[in-house]
Amino acid sequence: MFQMFCRGILSSAVHSRKVRGHLSWRLQSTCEAFPAGLADADTIFALSSGHGRCGVAVVRVSGPASATALKCMAGLKRNLPPPRTALLRSITDPKGKEVLDRGLVLWFPGPHSFTGEDSVELHIHGGTAVVTAVLQALGSMSGMRPAEAGEFTRRAFQAGKLDLTEVEGLADLIHAETEAQRRQALRQMSGELGQLYQNWSHRLKQCLAHVEAFIDFSEDELIEDGILSQVDTSVYSLLTEMDQHLKDQRKGERLRSGVQVVIAGATNAGKSSLLNTLCQRPAAIVSPVAGTTRDVVETALDIGGFPVLLSDTAGLRNSPDAIEREGVRRARERLDQGGKEENNLQVVAAALSLGPVQGLPGLQAVFSPGVAGAVHD
C-alpha cells in the first residue's frame, strides 16, 4: 500500500515540476473554497429560538444593516448600546412607530459575533402575535430579508468562526434528545474532532515534505538515510489511526441515528409484556388470547443514552383471519428491513417462546433474568 502511496506522490510531484517548474504541494482545507469575506451583503433576520408559544423568543439579525435595524427598532437616536450588554427597550415598528413589545436588545459588533458580522439579538415575549409583528417590521426595512434555513451557520462557517466538524456538532447538539447525544455533540462542537483532523493533516504534510525533499536533493546526498522508511512508518501509523477512528465512528453514527428494535416471535410469547416492561407503561394490550396484537406498536425509549425505537409486532403464525394475516405481513416486512437499511441500524429481538419462530428458525434472543422474569409474570 505504501509503495502505491509513494508512486502517487512521486508522479504528482514530477507532474507539478513539469507544469510549474517547482514543487508546489499544498493541502487545501474545505474553508479555502469560500472567500474570507462574505460575498452576500444582505442583512438577514430570523426567529432563532424555535417556533411555538414560549415565554421568551430570540430574533437574530446579522449583516451590515444590523446597527440601523437596532436603532430603528429600539428607538436609539445616537449611540449603540455597549457590545454584548442587554438593554431593556421598547421595540417599535420603524414605519408606524407603534410599540410592538418591550424586551431586551443586544449588540454584537463584527467580527466578535457568531457569524463574524455585525449582529443584533432581540429578546422579546414569545407570543405568536408579538413574534410575527417584530418579524414583519424587520422585513419592511430596506436591505433586510428573512434568513434561509441554516444561513446564520453558513455565514459563521464562511467567516471562519466554525469549521465543518463544528457545524455538524452544532446541528447534532440542536437535535440531541438523550444525554449521550448531547455529550457527543458538545465534544464535536468544541473542536475535538477538528483538532484530530488537523493533527492528521499536519503529519501528512510532513510526510509529503520529506518525499519532496527526497526527490529534490537525494542525488546531492543531502538527505538522511532512511527518510523514506520514516515516511513509511508515519503513513502506516496514520492509516492505523484512521481505520480505528472509522470503526469508532460507527458507534457515533449509531448514537446519532438511533436504533430500531423489533420484537418478534410466536403468538403469546410475551412480546407485548416485554414492550410494556421496557417502556414501564402499558403501551400495548396484553391478553391471554393468541393474536391480540395485530398492528405494529412503536414507542421511543432512551436506553443508556441511545435513542431506541421499540416495535412490538403481531405473533408470527399462519392464520385464517385476514386482519391478523396483514399484521403478520407487516411484522415480517419490518424484520426484512433490518438487513436492507444501512443508515438506520436495526436490532431484531425475538420474545421468549417455547419453540422456534414459525418461518424464522434462526431467530432467537437472550434476556437478562430480570426481564425474563418480568415477561413470565
Residue 186 lies in a domain: no
The reply to whether 225 and 273 lie within a common domain is no
pTM: 0.61
What pLDDT shows up at residue 283?
83
Residues 71 and 151 in one domain: yes
**Is residue 20 a part of any domain in this protein?**
yes
What does the buried/exposed string (b/e) look like for 154-166 if buried means 16 or more CB atoms within 10 Å of the residue's CB? Answer: bbbbbbebbbebb
32 vs 149: CA distance, rounded Å: 23
Whether 329 maps to a domain, the answer reads yes
Closest CA to 57 of 164, 156, 132: 132
Q: Which of 305, 308, 295, 293 is nearest to 349 (CA)?
A: 308
Same domain, 63 and 15: no
Number of H helices and E strands in the chain, helices first, is 11, 10
Q: Which CATH number is 345's domain given?
A: 3.40.50.300
> Does residue 259 contact residue 308 with C-beta atoms inside 8 Å?
yes
Residues 20 and 125 in one domain: no
Name the range with the highest mean pLDDT among 79-88, 254-263, 315-324.
79-88
| Confidence bin at 106 (pLDDT 50/70/90) | very high
Looking up cell 438593554 gives 87
C-alpha 186: how far from chain center: 11
Q: Is residue 36 part of a domain?
A: no
Predicted pLDDT at 154: 92
Contacts for 92 with CB less than 8 Å, ≥ 6 apart? 72, 73, 74, 75, 98, 99, 100, 137
Residue 62 has pLDDT above 60, yes or no: yes
Model confidence at 338, in pLDDT bands (50, 70, 90)? low
Same domain, 366 and 324: yes
Task: Compute the average pLDDT of residues 83-93.
Answer: 94
**How many percent of the chain have pLDDT more than 90?**
29
Predicted pLDDT of residue 6: 44
Domain membership of residue 179 (yes or no) is no
Q: Does residue 164 lie in a domain region?
A: no
Q: Binning pLDDT at 50, 70 and 90, where does residue 23 land?
A: very low
Query: Percent of the chain having pLDDT more than 70?
Result: 76
Average pLDDT of the segment spanning 261-270:
82
**132 and 221 inside one domain:** no
Cell matching residue 372: 425474563
| Pair 103, 89: CB distance under 8 Å | yes
Considering only residues 107 and 193, tell me which one the structure prediction assigns the higher pLDDT: 107
Confidence of residue 90 (pLDDT cuts 50, 70, 90): very high
Does residue 137 lie in a domain region? yes
* Enclosing domain of residue 370: 259-376
- Give the model's confidence band at 28: pLDDT under 50 very low, under 70 low, under 90 confident, else very high: very low
CATH code where residue 47 lies: 3.30.1360.120
Is 70 exceeded by the pLDDT of residue 324?
yes
Strands 87-92 and 99-108 turn out to be antiparallel
